Amino acid sequence: MRLILLGSPGAGKGTQAKFITEKYHIPQISTGDMLRAAIQDETGLGTTVKQIVESGQLVPDAVMIQLVEQRIQQSDCIHGFLLDGFPRTVPQAEALRLRHIYIDFVIDINVNEEELIKRLSGRRIHPASGRVYHLLYHPPHIAGKDDVTGEPLIQRPDDQEDTVRKRLSIYHQQTALLRDYYMQQAAKHMAQAPCYAEIEGHAAVEVVRDKIFSILTIKKGVSQ
Ligand code: AP5
Domain assignment present for 116: yes
Whether residue 127 is contained in a domain is answered as yes
Q: Determine, yes or no, domain membership for 34.
A: no
Q: What is the pLDDT of residue 220?
A: 58
Q: Which of 123, 131, 209, 211 is catalytic?
A: 123
Q: Check residue 221 and give its pLDDT.
A: 45
Tens digit of pLDDT for each residue in 132-190? 999 999 999 999 999 999 999 999 999 998 999 999 999 999 999 999 999 999 888 88
The predicted model scores a pTM of: 0.94
> What is the predicted pLDDT for the residue at 190?
82
Cα distance between residue 64 and residue 66, in whole Å: 5
Mean pLDDT of 55-77: 97
Angle of the 31-40 helix axis to the 44-54 helix axis, nearest 10: 120
Burial of 4: CB neighbours in 10 Å, binned 0-12, 13-18, 19+:
buried
Return the number of other C-beta atoms located less than 10 Å from residue 3's C-beta: 25
What residue's CA is closest to ligand 1, atom 8?
9
Distance CA 59, CA 3 (A): 22
Residue 223 has pLDDT above 70, yes or no: no
Is 47 within the bounds of a domain?
no
The enclosing domain of 9 has a CATH number of 3.40.50.300
Assess contact for 3 and 20: CB atoms under 8 A. yes
123 is known as an active-site residue = yes
When divided into structural domains, the chain yields a total of 1
Tell me, using a 6 A CB cutoff, whether residue 13 lines ligand 1.
yes
Is 48 within the bounds of a domain? no
> Is 38 inside a domain boundary?
no
Q: Whose CA is nearest to atom 5 of ligand 1?
A: 9
Is 223 a domain residue? no
Rounded to the nearest angstrom, the distance between the alpha carbon of 191 and the centre of ligand 1 is 30
Q: Is 131 a catalytic residue?
A: no
- Other CB atoms within a 10 A radius of the CB of residue 84 amount to 25
Q: Is 153 in the pocket of ligand 1 (CB under 6 A)?
A: no
Residue 156, domain extent = 2-26+79-218
| Residue of 108, 112, 133 whose CA lies nearest to 183 | 108
Whether 66 maps to a domain, the answer reads: no
